[in-house]
């Protein structure tokens, strides 16, 4: 469980850093602008407590099985654009 705490803590600190740029923070970290705002206002101690007591990973996997399979078969030149296009498509659908 200590590994989950450590991963969550690092992730939350990165989210807090990324909150300065809402648009890139949303895309890169997979969180809403509202959540970015909340985390940006949290103290170091509050982030530590959330990471410690959550008990589960706060990171969400954003790719489906078929998307990963397609990604694996792709040449490196197209991989980043492919991932970004998946995220943009999902934002439009919402």
Q: Are 9 and 48 in contact (CB under 8 A)?
A: yes
pLDDT at 94: 56
Would you state the pLDDT for residue 7?
94
Domain 1-60 in CATH 3.60.20.10? The answer is no
| pLDDT at position 32 | 86
pLDDT in tens, the chain (94 residues): 689 999 999 999 999 999 888 778 887 888 888 999 999 999 999 999 999 999 898 988 778 899 999 999 999 999 999 988 887 777 666 5
DSSP codes joined into one string, 13-25 = HHHHHHTTSHHHH
Q: Where are the domains of the chain?
A: 1-60, 62-94
């Amino acid at each position: 469980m200590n590994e989950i705490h450590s991963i969550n803590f690092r992730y939350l600190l990165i989210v807090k850093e990324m909150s300065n740029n809402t648009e890139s923070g949303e895309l890169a970290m997979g969180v809403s602008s509202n959540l970015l705002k909340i985390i940006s206002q949290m103290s170091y101690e509050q982030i530590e407590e959330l990471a410690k007591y959550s008990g589960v990973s706060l990171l969400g996997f954003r790719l489906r099985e078929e998307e990963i399979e397609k990604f694996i078969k792709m040449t490196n030149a197209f991989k980043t654009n492919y991932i970004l296009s998946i995220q943009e498509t999902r934002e439009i659908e919402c």
